Amino acid sequence: MDTQIQETHSNGYKVDEDGKSAGDGAGSAAGLAANNATRLAGAENGSAAGQKAAQSMTAKTGYDLFDALLEIRSELEDLQYILDNIRRGKTIIPDYAAYIVTTKENLHDLMKIVNEFSALPKDRRPREAANNVDTIRHINNLWEQMEFSPLIAHPGVEPKGSADVQKELHYLDLLDEQIHSLVYQIGILTIPHQIGQWKDKTRPGYFIPFHEVFAADLPLAADRDRMLKYISLTPELIEGFFTDVENGRLYRYSTSPFRRLVSLGMVILALALATGIVAAACFINKNGSIPAWPLAPADLPKMLMGWGAILAGMGVHVVVGSAKRSKTQNGMPSVLMDLILIIDARFGEIVMKLTLGLIGLFGLVMISTTRLPVANVLNNVLQQAVPAVGNGTAQPSLITQVTPLNAFLVGYSLDSIIELFGTSMESASQVKSLIPKGG
């Protein structure tokens, strides 16, 4: 053993250079160990040696790093529930002394497993553990602070007198803050890992409503906002997703540059097709074969100007809204900074906006027609059916409402409605996630 290098951790156990713990690891059934090893092999992005070392650790303990972290979170949340009931006066600590002792032992064992993974050489650790050494140290420090709390260290002691009761309330408040911080630190490791697992299961265009999906991981909305900002400012955490902090969403994009260029080309093609539809609408009745058709070839410049104004209105609304939300997010980068990724991830939404823009433009045409007096409409029909009728001069355009200003306002309003609908759905999801289950 003279070649063995040992490292002592704060909880007193040692780990040699091969990642073998001298302390007691929690065992489990062979099936669970094999399942966890398989998950770890597929999820981790480290070297082959790192995967092998992590799999060996998983097989020995029956846990991978994220199993242990998620169980720690569950233990902490259940402990927090009991402590909250004690604070509310529904029960007293001595009644749950045995439970607190058991929870403390479970947490101690789970912390050992986490530290065994973090003690592996850096190139052999799970990627999240290698990149978040400080986070694991924060988790250890917070747990050590909790262990020193008299309510955790000696839960069977009942407070005597008002002074002891006041102390107990202070201890309960401190424990609540420590558990809250611990849950957040655990989320820094587990949430990016969970998002990464979805990469192979989803296609570009899929989005994750962050507040809805991770309400259980981070119960407080403020913590979820904080986590979104952290992920946004640390893009190397998650490959294949970009973060829309403004709307609380993670959008899936293709990691292939060629695939993103294809999406860009398809958007350009869709825009060209929509413009072609506008032009075709002006020429479809060139021979006057469709009675009461409101458009004529002479209306083409006006229609193209209206179409451009609608697109401009949509674009201005996107830019203004993004700038406002970015300002309210304390200067967070706007999603417009990742324009190519947005086009790939939100291709379907872009096509939907183009379609609605066309509907808005032809809606203006219909409004123009319905506002004409009946006599004018009939006269227009006669002019188209019998060109000799009249003085032979060009008739005024029927699409009086298709002006640049009207079209711009239509585009701006349509994009606003789309955003309002999406925001309302997201808000409903957030509210739903805050409702206690079974309550």
- Segments making up each domain of the chain, as ranges: 7-197, 257-434
**Residue 217: half-sphere exposure toward Cβ, Cα within 13 Å:** 25
> Residue 349: what pLDDT?
84
Q: Is the pLDDT of residue 1 over 80?
A: no
Region 162-183: mean pLDDT is 89
> Residue 343: what pLDDT?
83
The string of pLDDT tens digits covering residues 347-389 is: 888 888 999 999 999 988 888 766 544 434 444 543 454 444 3
Binning pLDDT at 50, 70 and 90, where does residue 122 land? Answer: confident
Least Cα distance to 335 among 401, 247, 430 occurs for 247
**Residue 46: half-sphere exposure toward Cβ, Cα within 13 Å:** 22
- The Cα–Cα gap between 356 and 346 comes to 15
> Residue 71: what pLDDT?
94
Token pair recorded at residue 229 = 């900002």
Q: Tell me the backbone φ, ψ of residue 262, rounded to 5 degrees.
A: -60, -45
> Residue 34: what pLDDT?
37
Could you list the beta-strand ranges (E) of 160-235. Answer: 207-209
Asked if residue 25 lies in contact with residue 116, where contact means CB atoms within 8 angstroms, the answer is yes
Token pair recorded at residue 133 = 């050494």
The string of pLDDT tens digits covering residues 378-427 is: 445 434 544 443 444 444 556 777 888 989 999 898 888 877 665 544 44
Q: Tell me the backbone φ, ψ of residue 357, rounded to 5 degrees.
A: -65, -40
The string of pLDDT tens digits covering residues 18-59 is: 333 333 333 333 333 333 333 333 334 444 444 555 555 565
Please list, in sequence order, all residues whose beta carbon lies within 8 angstroms of the beta carbon of residue 328, skipping any fewer than 6 positions away: none
- The Cα–Cα gap between 121 and 155 comes to 38
State if pTM tops 0.85: no
- The Cα–Cα gap between 27 and 61 comes to 5
Look at 310 and 427; give whichever has higher pLDDT. Answer: 310
- Where residue 399 falls (left for φ over 0; alpha for ψ -120 to 50; beta otherwise) is beta
Look at 233 and 52; give whichever has higher pLDDT. Answer: 233
User: What is the pLDDT of the chain when averaged over all its residues?
Assistant: 75
Token pair recorded at residue 148 = 């020193």
